[in-house]
Amino acid sequence: MAADRQDFGALFTQAPGLYLVLDPAFTIRAVNDAYCRATMTRREEIIGRNLFEVFPDNPNDPAADGVAKLRLSLQRVLDLRRPDVMSIQKYDIRKPDSEGGGFEERYWNPINTPVLDSGGAVQSILHCVEDVTELMRMRKSETTHIAMAREQQLVIDRLRDANAKLADQMEQIRALRRYTYFFALLVENSIDPVITFLMDGEVKSWNRAAQEMFGYDKTEIVGRHVDMILPPDLKAEQDALWARLRAGEKIHDFETLRRAKDGTDVTVALTLSPIREENHEIIGASQVVRDITEQKQTQKKLLGLQEELIHLSRWNTMGMLASTIAHELSQPLTAAMNYIRAAHRTVGGLDLPEVARARDFLDKAANETKLAGGIMRTLREFIEKRKTNRAVDDLNRLVEETVVLGAAGSAEVKAMLRTQLLSGLPPIYVDRIQIQQVILNLVRNAVDAMSNSERRDLIVATAMDGPGHVCVTVSDTGPGIAPDVMARLFQPFVTTKENGMGVGLTICQSIVEAHDGKIWGEGNERGGATFGFRLPVADPVEKQNAA
Amino acid sequence: MSKPAAGTTWLVDDNRSVRDSTGAFLEAIGLTVRTYASALEFLDKFESDRSGCIVADYDMPGMTGLELLETLRRRGSRLPVIIITGRGDAALEQRVLAAGGFRMLHKPIDGLELADLVEQAVSEAA
């Protein structure tokens, strides 16, 4: 048995596995050669010492948990009296001073097995380990490689993403910069002044046209209050505009005045638009300014011309009216006179005192009638003496000028007026005021006729009418001409208008016929009426005289 | 004022009261008068061998007094023509005379003056 025991002792000592025997107080009682080699210890130095004194945790590894884990496992063996297989455990080993000291990283696969006495108590613990450091190192380096590769890939991917995003953003920035640049150019070169300002009035931009109109350059006004160009007496009006802007309203062509640096006021039309942030909050406004001084002056001049024409027309109308009345009255006066003369002659042969008295009365009536005739004659001579200013003129020009004037008066009716002028018409020899009066009269009539029409479409056209005449037609979409009116169109005192006198067309006819022309009226295919007149083209002699 | 003129006075005027009253007076002083409401109506019934004097209004629908005068001259009639008008001017008078009219008279017309002119025209034509 002793020999057996010795044999077992040698077996234990030289076994290739790594074995350590502990007593229940974890004092090292036996160790084999392999174990000593693996842990760089010497048997005589460790026998009889506490396990954890010989193998403490690596003080340089804060995560070291070898001692704690091993102690727990051993405790479990004592408590449960059965083997305890630990998972792979990092447990660094102290290197001998001859090898430089310090600790060497090691991984172990420990199994702790109780050795029971006959009473079943734990007599000792067999601590058997396998050094798996190489394995762990290989595994670790493998995982590290894979992990690193994976991480690198992630980093590359992330970089690629970031790069793409960056390129995107750069492109956006470039586009934005381009847009901003073009926009700035557009604003800067706009013919109209464009001003932007914040809601507190601070001017943010001021273009070249603004500088030209108001005399301030950018450095003088950007950053200052936009009211620098506001005439002080318009403060209330400006406040109202601000209120509308704040409410988000866009304001179109608001006519007002703005003051230039030199103190002069400019008549302008403002178009104001609120500027909103992405969150829709109104942060400022843009203001486009249009100089309408000239437009106003043109309008004024136009109105002046219109008044003049109306004035002249009125005079003309009065003359024509007098002429018409004279003509109309001359008929019954002729009749009255001749009836008186006839009566006188009829009773002339009778020699009675009553008849003598009657003859006396008839003579007086004849004298009175003659007197009326004299008044007529004076009136007619006065009308005849009215000077007519005939000159060579261009029909298209007359139409264009008149249509502008006629349209100015018809703004409230909102008729759509178009001209279709045949270019290259030969000249005419006319009194331009009179011809314009005819055109104006026809246009006004047409506009009036359409006042209750849904469609208000007015066409004024010129054309040739045979080789020797030019003509003007005025075509409306009114109700047309009633058959009973048609026959009496140009007769005086015939009217379809409530307040009309019925002399307009009669006068037109007089004027046109005085120019050796002809006037007419008819229904058109649009259901409305077309009035037209023709005039002879100027004789070469008249053209020469004019030239 | 005077003895009746030879022939007939042909009175053409679209205005009925002028026509009737003037006709009435000329007849009262012993003239033979025929009245017509338009130039076309007159031409329709006129025969070229007639004698006397024509009194025609200028401003009539269809054909004016002046056009009537021109038509008659074209047809070879030498009958004197007096044009009466309510709105004619000096320029019209020139045209009437140039077309061979005897005289132009402005309305309102006194029958006495017209009768004198008619007599004068007829005696000159004779």
Confidence of residue B1 (pLDDT cuts 50, 70, 90): very low
Q: Are A496 and A446 in contact (CB under 8 A)?
A: no
What whole-number distance in Å separates Cα of residue A5 and Cα of residue A390?
159
Q: What is the pLDDT of residue A9?
A: 83
Set of chain A residues whose Cβ sits within 8 Å of the Cβ of B20? 335
- Give helix B111-125 / helix B16-28 axis angle, nearest 10°: 70
Is A335 in Cβ contact with B110 (below 8 Å)? no
Q: Are A537 and A468 in contact (CB under 8 A)?
A: yes
Flag whether pLDDT at B36 surpasses 70: yes
Is B59 in Cβ contact with A330 (below 8 Å)? no
Any idea which of A22-36, A311-325, B63-77 has the lowest mean pLDDT?
A311-325
Q: What is the pLDDT of residue A379?
A: 76
Q: What is the pLDDT of residue A546?
A: 47
Any idea which of A53-67, A97-111, A180-194 has the lowest mean pLDDT?
A180-194
Mean predicted confidence (pLDDT) in A458-483: 92
Set of chain A residues whose Cβ sits within 8 Å of the Cβ of B27? 342
Cα of B85 to nearest chain A Cα, Å: 8
Flag whether pLDDT at A479 surpasses 70: yes
What whole-number distance in Å separates Cα of residue A248 and Cα of residue A191?
26
What whole-number distance in Å separates Cα of residue A42 and Cα of residue A49?
12
Optimal mutation site among B2, B18, B25, interface A, most CBs of chain A within 10 A: B25
Residue of A nearest to B13 (CA): A331
Q: Given its phi and psi angles, is residue A223 left (phi above 0), alpha (psi -120 to 50 degrees) or beta?
A: left
Q: Which of A326, A337, A377 sits opposite B111 (nearest CB)?
A: A337
Flag whether pLDDT at A349 surpasses 80: no
Q: What are phi and psi of B94, to 5 degrees?
A: -60, -45
pLDDT tens digit sequence for A173-184? 888 888 888 878
Cα of B99 to nearest chain A Cα, Å: 17
Closest CA to A242 of A217, A259, A261, A225: A225
- Give helix B90-98 / helix B65-74 axis angle, nearest 10°: 10
pLDDT-above-70 percentage for chain A = 91
For A394-544, list the strands marked E by DSSP. 416-420, 428-431, 457-464, 469-475, 518-523, 529-536
Any idea which of A46-50, A76-80, A505-509, B115-119 has the lowest mean pLDDT?
A505-509
Flag whether pLDDT at A541 surpasses 80: no
Is A332 in Cβ contact with B86 (below 8 Å)? no
Set of chain A residues whose Cβ sits within 8 Å of the Cβ of B37? none
Is B21 in Cβ contact with A336 (below 8 Å)? yes
Mean predicted confidence (pLDDT) in A460-479: 93
A212 CB-near residues (< 8 Å, 6+ apart): A193
Q: What is the pLDDT of residue B2?
A: 45
pLDDT tens digit sequence for A138-197? 887 777 788 888 888 888 888 888 888 988 988 888 888 888 888 788 888 888 899 999
Q: What is the pLDDT of residue A547?
A: 41
Cα of B71 to nearest chain A Cα, Å: 19
Is B22 in Cβ contact with A327 (below 8 Å)? no
Enumerate residues 19 to 78 of chain B having a beta carbon within 8 A of any beta carbon in chain A: 20-22, 24-25, 27-29, 59
Is B28 in Cβ contact with A346 (below 8 Å)? yes
End-to-end CA distance of chain B: 19
Confidence of residue A413 (pLDDT cuts 50, 70, 90): low
Any idea which of A233-242, A403-412, B107-116 has the lowest mean pLDDT?
A403-412
Most confident residue range from A214-218, A386-390, A485-489, B47-51: A214-218
Flag whether pLDDT at B18 surpasses 90: yes
Q: What is the pLDDT of residue A380?
A: 74
Q: Which of B15, B25, B106 sits opposite A380 (nearest CB)?
A: B106
H helix count then E strand count, chain B: 5, 5
Any idea which of A16-25, A63-72, A310-319 has the lowest mean pLDDT?
A310-319
Interface of chain A toward chain B, CB-CB under 8 angstroms: 323, 326-339, 341-342, 345-346, 366, 369-370, 372-373, 376-377, 380, 384, 510
Confidence of residue B3 (pLDDT cuts 50, 70, 90): very low
Q: What is the pTM of this model?
A: 0.45
Residue of B nearest to A375 (CA): B108
Element (H, E) at B37: none
Tell me how many residue pairs between chain A and chain B have CB atoms under 8 A apart.
Answer: 81
Is A326 in Cβ contact with B29 (below 8 Å)? no
pLDDT tens digit sequence for A229-280? 999 999 999 999 999 999 999 999 898 999 999 999 988 999 999 988 888 8
| CB burial readout A461-476, b (16+ within 10 A) else e | bbbebeeebbbbbbbb
Is B108 in Cβ contact with A330 (below 8 Å)? yes
B110 Cβ under 8 Å from any chain A Cβ: yes
Q: Which of A328, A335, A345 sits opposite B28 (nearest CB)?
A: A345
Q: Are strands A457-464 and A469-475 parallel, antiparallel or unpaired?
A: antiparallel
Set of chain B residues whose Cβ sits within 8 Å of the Cβ of A323? 87
Closest CA to A480 of A452, A519, A508, A510: A452
Is A338 in Cβ contact with B25 (below 8 Å)? yes
Confidence of residue A543 (pLDDT cuts 50, 70, 90): low
Q: What is the pLDDT of residue A5?
A: 60
